[in-house]
Amino acid sequence: MSASPSAIQSVLVENRIFPPAESLVKAARISGMAGYEALCAEADKDFEGFWARLARENLTWTRPFTQTLDESEAPFYKWFADGELNASANCLDKHMGTPVENKTAIIFEADGGEVTKVTYKELLARVSQFANALKTRGVKKGDRVLIYMPMTIEGIVAMQACARIGATHSVVFGGFSAKAVQERIQDAGAVAVITANYQLRGGKELPLKSIVDEAIASGGCECVKTVFVYERTATAWNRVDGRDVSFTEALQGQSTECAPVPVNAEHPLFVLYTSGSTGKPKGVQHSTGGYMLWAKLTMDWTFDIQPSDVFWCTADIGWVTGHTYITYGPLAAGATEVVFEGVPTYPNAGRFWQMIERHKVSVFYTAPTAIRSLIKAADSDEAVHPKKSDLSSLRILGSVGEPINPEAWMWYYKNVGGERCPIVDTWWQTENGGHLITPLPGATPLVPGSCTLPLPGIAAAIVDETGHDLPNGSGGLLVIKRPWPSMIRTIWGDPERFKKAYFPEEMGGKIYLAGDGAVRDAKTGYFRVTGRIDDVLNVSGHRMGTMEIESALVSKSDLVAEAAVVGRPDDLTGEAICAFVVLKRPRPTGEEAAQIAKELRDWVAKEIGPIAKPKDIRFGENLPKTRSGKIMRRLLRSLAKGESITQDTSTLENPAILDQLAQNN
C-alpha cells in the first residue's frame, strides 16, 4: 500500500469526532443519521425501485425507461436501458421557464483576475450555437470528439455541445503531451478536436494548438477532419487549411437554438482516459442516464446544494472531478458555480481564499495536495493566510483525489471552515462517475482522515483476495458488491481488459474491485482508504501508472537499458515518483548523473506530460532481481523511502546493487 505508514498510523489512532451542527442537520436535505439510514433501508428493501424512483425524480426523460437494471450480461450492467434523454437538456433546457433561467450559471475568473458571468439562458444559447457549429462540420451522434482545452467557459461549452448532439467527448488534460493526445485520438477514433491557441496559467501563455498539430502530424490521426480553435489570447497560431477553424469563424451565422438529440440511457456520454496498473491508459466509458443521475444526486446529497449556494470545485475539466462537479453536476442542480482558469499560487498563494471572499463561495471542493501546499505558503507568509480573507460565506468544504491526512484536515477545518463547516472527504474514482463513500454534511459525524460511510445503495465492503468479507478493524481490498448507476460501462474498445481489471474471476466476476486498500473502524464501521494496492501512483491527486513511466523511460533507447518506477511518500504531493534506471553506458555520478537525470525528466515530460516527471532518479549498474529475473519492487520501495533494507535479500541475484541504488542524484 502506498500511503506512508506514519500517515496511516495517525489515522488509526484518530479519535476526534465532529458531529454536524444542529442547524445544518435541521436544514439539510438528508437530515441526521436517521435520514441517511432511511435511504439506506429503502435501497435495501427494493434496490431497483429505489434507483428507479430517483432516476424519475432527478432526470428529465424524453422516453421513460421501463427496466431499471439489466444484469443479464454482468459485469456489463445496464441501467434504465430503454429510456432516452439528453445530458445537456438535463443541465440547461430543464431550467428554462423556471426562476433558474436568469440565474448566474458560471462565474468565470480568468488567470489574470478578469471576471465574466453567464446566466443559464445565455449558456444554453452558447452551447446550442457551438453544437450547430459542430453539426455544420459534420460531427454527429455517435462520433467521438477530443477536447484539449484550458479551464474556460468555452471548455464547458465544448463538452455540453458534444452532449447536446450525442457526440461522445474525450477530454485530455491540458498538461498532457502531444504523444498522449495522439494516442487518445487514435484509440477513440476522434473525428474532431476542440482546442485553444494557448492557455493561461500563472501569468504564462502555454501552447495547446501546436501540441495538437504535433500529435496529428505524428501519424495515425487521419480520422480527425476538423480542429476547432478557441482564440484564448491574441497570439497568432498556425492554421492548417481545410482542417482548422477558429471559434469565431465556426460560430459565424449559427443559430443559438439547437434541439437536444435524445440518446439511449446507455449511450456513451464520454470516454476519459486514466492510468491503470498495466499498459497504456484506458478509456473509461461512461453512460448518459446513470452518470447524469449520479452527477445530480451527489450535488444534492453530498453538497446539499441549495438555490442560494455558490459552488466552487477547483478541479480541471481534464479530470473526472471536473466532468462531474464542474461540467455536469452543478448545472444539473441549477447552482451558480465558480470556474477558475489559473493556479492556486498566482499571483500569490492567497488566491483561493481571496476568490472565496470575492465570489461569496458557500461550498468549496478541492484536493488535499492543494491544501497542503497552501498550508506551507500560509506558514511562511501571513499575507496569504486564509484569515486575511472573509470566509464567512462558506458552509460546506470538500476534499477529493487522495487520502487527506488528519493534520491537513484539521487545518482546513479550523482555518478555512472556521470550525463551522463540515468537510466531506469524498472517496471515488474515474471509474465510479461520482462520490461513493463520503460523509453527508447534515448527517454524518466526521472523523479526520476518514471518508466515513457509503452513500445509500452503495454496497462497499472490505474483502480478501477471494472476495470474502473481512471483519471490521482489519485492512483489505475495497470492493463494491452491487452495481450502481454511474459505474464505468467498459473500457473503450477493450471489454476483456474491463472484465479483467475490475471484476476479477477469483472474486466471482461480478464484484467491482476498486484497486484501493482500506480498513473499516472496528466500532463505527467508518472506511479509511489507505491508498492504491496496485502499480498506480497518486501524485498530487493525479493518477499515474508506474508501467507508463517505465515505458516512457525505456523508449529513450539510445540511453536507457532498463527502468523501474515506484512511489514514495511525500509530505506535499502525497506520493512522489522515484525511478531506478540502468543506462546503456557506465553508471554516471556527480555532474554527469545530474545532467542525464534532467534529460530523462524532460523526456518523460515530452512522452507523457510534466506531471509524470520523476522526482528522484537513481542510477545503478543493474536492478535488484531474483534469480529468475524478476525485479524486486518492494526493495525498491524501501530504497526510495530511504529505509535501510531489513527484508530478506537471500533470493536476490545481485545484493551489492542495493548500496548503489540507495544513493540519490
Positions 195 through 234 that interact with ligand WTA (CB under 6 A): none
* Cβ-based neighbours of 217, under 8 Å, separated by 6 or more: none
305 binds ligand WTA (CB under 6 A): no
405 binds ligand WTA (CB under 6 A): no
Given the complex with ligand WTA, which of 344 and 403 has the nearer CB atom? 403
- Say if CB 431 and CB 487 are below 8 A apart: yes
Given the complex with ligand WTA, which of 216 and 501 has the nearer CB atom? 501
* Cβ-based neighbours of 579, under 8 Å, separated by 6 or more: 549, 550, 553, 563, 564, 565, 600, 614, 616, 617, 618
430 binds ligand WTA (CB under 6 A): yes
Given the complex with ligand WTA, which of 314 and 321 has the nearer CB atom? 321
Given the complex with ligand WTA, which of 89 and 313 has the nearer CB atom? 313
401 binds ligand WTA (CB under 6 A): yes
> Among the candidate windows 105-113, 314-322, 336-344, 381-389, which touches ligand WTA by CB under 6 A?
314-322
Nearest to 500 by CA among 450, 470, 534, 463: 534
Compute the least distance from the CB of residue 566 to ligand WTA, in Å: 16
- With CB under 6 A as the contact rule, the residue among 90, 429, 444, 546 that binds ligand WTA is 429
320 binds ligand WTA (CB under 6 A): yes
11 binds ligand WTA (CB under 6 A): no
Compute the least distance from the CB of residue 368 to ligand WTA, in Å: 8
Given the complex with ligand WTA, which of 164 and 323 has the nearer CB atom? 323
Compute the least distance from the CB of residue 515 to ligand WTA, in Å: 6
- With CB under 6 A as the contact rule, the residue among 316, 337, 402, 607 that binds ligand WTA is 402
Compute the least distance from the CB of residue 592 to ligand WTA, in Å: 37
- Say if CB 207 and CB 198 are below 8 A apart: yes
Nearest to 614 by CA among 589, 636, 587, 647: 636
515 binds ligand WTA (CB under 6 A): yes
Centre a 10 Å sphere on the Cβ of residue 646 and count the other Cβ atoms it contains: 7
> Among the candidate windows 172-180, 293-301, 419-427, 468-476, which touches ligand WTA by CB under 6 A?
419-427
439 binds ligand WTA (CB under 6 A): no
Q: What number of chain residues touch ligand WTA (CB under 6 A)?
A: 23
Report the alpha-carbon distance of residue 326 to residue 555 in Å, rounded: 36
- With CB under 6 A as the contact rule, the residue among 400, 421, 423, 443 that binds ligand WTA is 400
Compute the least distance from the CB of residue 425 to ligand WTA, in Å: 5
- Say if CB 465 and CB 477 are below 8 A apart: yes
Interaction pattern, residues 451-490, with ligand WTA; x per rule: CB under 6 A: x---------------------------------------
CA distances from 85 to 21, 262, 298 (A): 39, 5, 19
Compute the least distance from the CB of residue 431 to ligand WTA, in Å: 7
Compute the least distance from the CB of residue 320 to ligand WTA, in Å: 5
| Strand 363-366, strand 310-313: pairing | parallel
Given the complex with ligand WTA, which of 309 and 516 has the nearer CB atom? 516
425 binds ligand WTA (CB under 6 A): yes
Compute the least distance from the CB of residue 193 to ligand WTA, in Å: 23
- With CB under 6 A as the contact rule, the residue among 274, 285, 298, 415 that binds ligand WTA is 274
* CA 659 to mean position of chain CA atoms: 38
User: Closest CB to ligand WTA belongs to which residue?
Assistant: 430
590 conformational bin, left if phi > 0, alpha if psi -120 to 50, beta if neither: left
273 binds ligand WTA (CB under 6 A): no
Given the complex with ligand WTA, which of 227 and 513 has the nearer CB atom? 513
* Cβ-based neighbours of 428, under 8 Å, separated by 6 or more: 400, 434, 435, 436, 437, 438
Nearest 5°: phi and psi at 167?
-85, 145
- With CB under 6 A as the contact rule, the residue among 132, 182, 197, 321 that binds ligand WTA is 321
Report the alpha-carbon distance of residue 149 to residue 316 in Å, rounded: 10
498 binds ligand WTA (CB under 6 A): no
In angstroms and rounded to an integer, the radius of gyration of the C-alpha atoms of the chain is: 24
519 binds ligand WTA (CB under 6 A): no
529 binds ligand WTA (CB under 6 A): yes
- With CB under 6 A as the contact rule, the residue among 65, 80, 198, 427 that binds ligand WTA is 427
The counts of H helices and E strands in the chain are 20, 30
Tell me: cis bond preceding 448? Omega within 30 of 0 counts: no
Query: Helices 590-607 & 546-554, crossing angle to 10 degrees?
Result: 110
168 binds ligand WTA (CB under 6 A): no
Compute the least distance from the CB of residue 530 to ligand WTA, in Å: 8
172 binds ligand WTA (CB under 6 A): no
Nearest to 163 by CA among 269, 322, 286, 273: 269
- With CB under 6 A as the contact rule, the residue among 94, 135, 351, 543 that binds ligand WTA is 543
Q: N- to C-terminal Cα distance for the chain?
A: 25
Given the complex with ligand WTA, which of 389 and 399 has the nearer CB atom? 399
- Say if CB 613 and CB 601 are below 8 A apart: yes
CA distances from 397 to 16, 28, 135, 439 (A): 18, 15, 40, 11
Query: Helices 47-58 & 32-45, crossing angle to 10 degrees?
Result: 110
Report the alpha-carbon distance of residue 182 to residue 205 in Å, rounded: 22
- Contacts with ligand WTA by CB under 6 A lie at 274, 319-321, 400-403, 425-430, 451, 514-516, 529, 531-532, 538, 543
